[in-house]
Chains A and B, each alone.
Chain A
Amino acid sequence: MVSLARKNLFHDRLRFVITVAGVAFAVTLVLVQVGLFMGLLDKSTVTIRNAGADLWVTSRNTPNIDFARTFPETAVLRARSVPGVARADNLIVAFMTIQLPSGAAEGALVYALQDFGSWSLPWSVTQGSPADLKRGYAMLMDHSAARRYGPFAVGEQREILGRRFRIVGTTLEAASFTTTPIVFMDYRNAQELQEPLRGNTNYVLVKLAPGADARAVQAELRRRLPYNDVLTREEWARQSRDYWVKSTGLGMSMGVTVFLGILVGIVIVAQTLYTSAVEHIKEFDTVKAIGGSNLAIYRILGEQALIAAVIGFALGAGFSYLARPLMATIHLNVLLSPGFSAVVFVGTVLMCLGAALVSFRRVAGIDPALVFRT
């Protein structure tokens, strides 16, 4: 079968390029913006997902993992007594000030566990060992801290809240939504640094015994710790994500960007397809005169929209995926998943077909008798 749609589309190369560029632009905008957002959100839950805890005990209404609140550390004892709990430990997550060799002071997000060996925090250690954190004032510092603190090396010392800490190792991928670098230290050292932390903790990490019913253990923990929240890993991650999405306006901002991307795509595709349809009216007259129906013409326009959608998506998605490593060099994490890409593809096809509807209206009223007018 001869595809008049494809032939016409490729015949007018400039218009075709503009159409495809419009679609590709919209796709890139949506993928990169949402990818950046997802990358940010990923950071907001990376420690929750990697810590290895099945349940998290938090103070009541803690909005997200970075904005921790204190409660008595003895809660951990009650947690340990619940049947089905294999292990429970206190975790402190606190913002502290770190003094840099340059004289400047920066913020640091301190993660301090009672027993690092029983958990996956930190989960990616590139130098040293969490076991070394028990040896005096020691800390592991994430590689990403170099951007804020300048270069550092194992064996060097940094001052946190007036106390000198030796860097005994480095980690990878430990990041927070606020971009504040994460350092790991011993639980007691962290408590010593901040008065409000003494005798208090921010979280209790709970690991379930093999075969334990998570919901039952969660219910029992809630009963025994009535002034705390007890959340599964997924619930806690969702709550942390939701905080940034809903409370900060970031979700709305991203929604507006996606809307604008789609709008730009629709306008460009609709405009170019419509102009093309108007310029090919005489051809459509001929199609109808020789026996083609409106449906045949709709198919032509629909096929053109579909081709623009597929090629535009391929280019936009290709560009977005290629841009990922480049953006990573400037520390922007664009998180793209095949599932989300598939959603964007379906959206692109619908967007282009929707844009073609404008042209459908124009060609629906074509009078084939015009073929006899010169």
Chain B
Amino acid sequence: MNEIVLAVRGVTKVFDEGRQRVHVLRGITLDVAAGELVALEGPSGSGKTTLLSIMGCILTPSSGELEVAGRPVRSSHEAARREVRRLSIGFVFQQYNLFPALTALENVEYSLNVRGVGGRPAGDEARRVLARVGLGDRLGFLPRDLSGGQKQRVAIARALAGSPPVLLADEPTANLDTATGAQILDLFQELAKVERRGVLVVTHDPKVRRIADRVVGIRDGLLVDVDGEKAAA
């Protein structure tokens, strides 16, 4: 059986908005295994971004447990969560979130610097992952000089740098044309299968179903099967 790299157990999240308590997540349990690509679908307001933030150790759950790369995350300690983000999770954002003043190479190298890798090893690793996503010839390009697909590839390279076991992607194809989006999805699939990463993609894109090992839906803070029914416990 494949190793579980991301485990969410009975996670809830409640936000206090004035006098109201909003239950955004109502007890989510979800595993992602190494080499598995899971798609998370849901309409706006269903709680998928909150779930993604909790899985990415950015938000703390109100209750429940989280394990990343086999290690329980002590959610109350920001420093501990930051450490998990630094070492075990790669993020891919819908808007790419590249640093506009840095070249493709520097964008990746900088994320390695944040992860504690510096100097020549950082440069070598950045070149390796950029070559891995097919941008070996675009190292010195600033984001403004890259196409949307190329920007997303840089973002993926940045997420891959340092070899985190978990990749979390938020609507990675939302700003891309159909053909480019398909290439990016193929890349995610390859990363899961070839590099044995646990990949979770939050998406509205129906094409993700084509490549996902599993598709999980979320409605009103609960996981459902993709047809909208409540998922079996």
User: Which residues in A have some Cβ–Cβ distance to B below 8 Å?
Assistant: 1-2, 4, 7-8, 10-12, 282-283, 285-293, 296, 368-369, 371-374
Q: B100 contacts which chain A residues (CB < 8 A)?
A: 11, 283
Within 8 A of A (CB), among B166-218: 170
Interface centre among B86, B101, B158 (most CB of A within 10 A): B101
Given contacts A2-B102, A368-B58, contact A290 B94 (CB under 8 A): no
- Contact code string B35-67 (vs A, CB < 8 Å = 1, else 0): 000000000000001001100101100000000
Q: A373 contacts which chain B residues (CB < 8 A)?
A: 49
Q: Of B56, B101, B106, B119, which one neighbours A289 at CB under 8 angstroms?
A: B56
Verify B102–A372 contact, CB threshold 8 A. Answer: no
The smallest C-beta distance from A87 to any residue of chain B, in angstroms, reads 70
Q: Of B53, B99, B115, which one neighbours A369 at CB under 8 angstroms?
A: B53
Q: Which residue of B lies closest to A283 (CB)?
A: B99
Verify B87–A291 contact, CB threshold 8 A. Answer: yes
* Distance between Cα atoms of A113 and B131 in the complex (Å): 87
Verify A290–B95 contact, CB threshold 8 A. Answer: no
Q: B122 contacts which chain A residues (CB < 8 A)?
A: 1
* Distance between Cα atoms of A53 and B148 in the complex (Å): 81
Verify A1–B56 contact, CB threshold 8 A. Answer: no
**Count of A-B residue pairs with CB < 8 Å:** 75
Verify B82–A293 contact, CB threshold 8 A. Answer: yes
* Distance between Cα atoms of A1 and B117 in the complex (Å): 9
Given contacts A290-B111, A292-B114, contact A7 B99 (CB under 8 A): yes
The smallest C-beta distance from A371 to any residue of chain B, in angstroms, reads 6
User: Which residues in B have some Cβ–Cβ distance to A below 8 Å?
Assistant: 49, 52-53, 56, 58-59, 79, 82-83, 85-87, 91, 93-95, 97, 99-102, 106, 109-111, 113-115, 118-119, 122, 158, 170
What are some 24 contacts across the A-B interface (CB < 8 A)? A1-B118, A1-B119, A1-B122, A2-B110, A2-B113, A4-B110, A7-B99, A7-B106, A8-B99, A11-B100, A283-B97, A286-B99, A287-B114, A289-B56, A290-B85, A290-B86, A290-B114, A291-B114, A291-B115, A368-B58, A371-B93, A371-B97, A372-B49, A374-B95
> Which 3 residue pairs are nearest across A and B when measured between Cβ atoms?
A291-B86, A11-B101, A7-B101
Q: B110 contacts which chain A residues (CB < 8 A)?
A: 2, 4
Q: A285 contacts which chain B residues (CB < 8 A)?
A: 97
Q: Of B79, B91, B170, which one neighbours A290 at CB under 8 angstroms?
A: B91
Q: Which residue of A lies closest to B168 (CB)?
A: A372
Q: A371 contacts which chain B residues (CB < 8 A)?
A: 58, 91, 93, 97
Q: A369 contacts which chain B residues (CB < 8 A)?
A: 53, 58-59
* Distance between Cα atoms of A371 and B90 in the complex (Å): 13
Q: B101 contacts which chain A residues (CB < 8 A)?
A: 4, 7-8, 10-12
Q: B91 contacts which chain A residues (CB < 8 A)?
A: 289-290, 371
* Distance between Cα atoms of A374 and B172 in the complex (Å): 12
The smallest C-beta distance from A94 to any residue of chain B, in angstroms, reads 68
* Distance between Cα atoms of A273 and B111 in the complex (Å): 23
Q: Which residue of A lies closest to B94 (CB)?
A: A374
The smallest C-beta distance from B66 to any residue of chain A, in angstroms, reads 15
Verify A4–B56 contact, CB threshold 8 A. Answer: no
Q: A4 contacts which chain B residues (CB < 8 A)?
A: 99, 101-102, 110
The smallest C-beta distance from B155 to any residue of chain A, in angstroms, reads 10
Q: Which residue of A lies closest to B106 (CB)?
A: A2
Verify B85–A291 contact, CB threshold 8 A. Answer: yes
Q: Apart from A2-B102, A289-B56, A289-B58, what 6 extra A-B contacts exist at CB < 8 Å?
A: A10-B101, A289-B85, A290-B111, A290-B114, A291-B85, A293-B79
